[in-house]
């Protein structure tokens, strides 16, 4: 997973930033916007496209180091698994 961060973000369903899970994020040609909850406090981060492109991947920690206006942040990109409601046993019974 050592592609550039913009490419990885396009296939990510969830992020972890500084230890907080963030399902609410958007990435476009202008910026990366992330919203996460820390207990009852909403936290928001904004990174410019240039900051995202400058991120570096840490092989040891398997995360990205991203430097924004508020300092350095640790970012982990994740893909979600999806399930279906189809019961495979039903398909076998019909055959």
Beta bridge partners of 42: 37
Question: What are the boundaries of each domain within the chain?
Answer: 5-78
- 5-78 CATH choice from 2.30.29.190, 3.10.20.30, 2.40.30.10, 3.30.950.10: 2.30.29.190
pLDDT in tens, the chain (95 residues): 457 999 999 989 999 999 999 989 999 999 999 999 998 999 999 999 999 999 999 999 999 999 999 899 999 999 876 565 555 555 555 55
pTM of the model: 0.78
DSSP H helices, the chain, are 5-10, 49-53, 88-94
Nearest to 79 by CA among 10, 3, 12, 26: 12
């Amino acid at each position: 997973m050592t592609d550039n961060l913009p490419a990885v973000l396009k296939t990510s369903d969830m992020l972890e930033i500084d230890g907080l899970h963030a399902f609410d994020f958007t990435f476009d040609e202008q910026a990366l916007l992330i919203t996460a909850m820390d207990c009852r406090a909403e936290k928001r981060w904004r990174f410019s496209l240039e900051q995202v492109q400058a991120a570096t991947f840490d092989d040891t920690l398997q995360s990205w180091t991203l430097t924004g206006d508020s300092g350095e942040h640790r970012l982990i990109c994740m893909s979600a698994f999806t399930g279906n409601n189809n019961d495979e046993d039903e398909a076998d019974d019909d055959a």
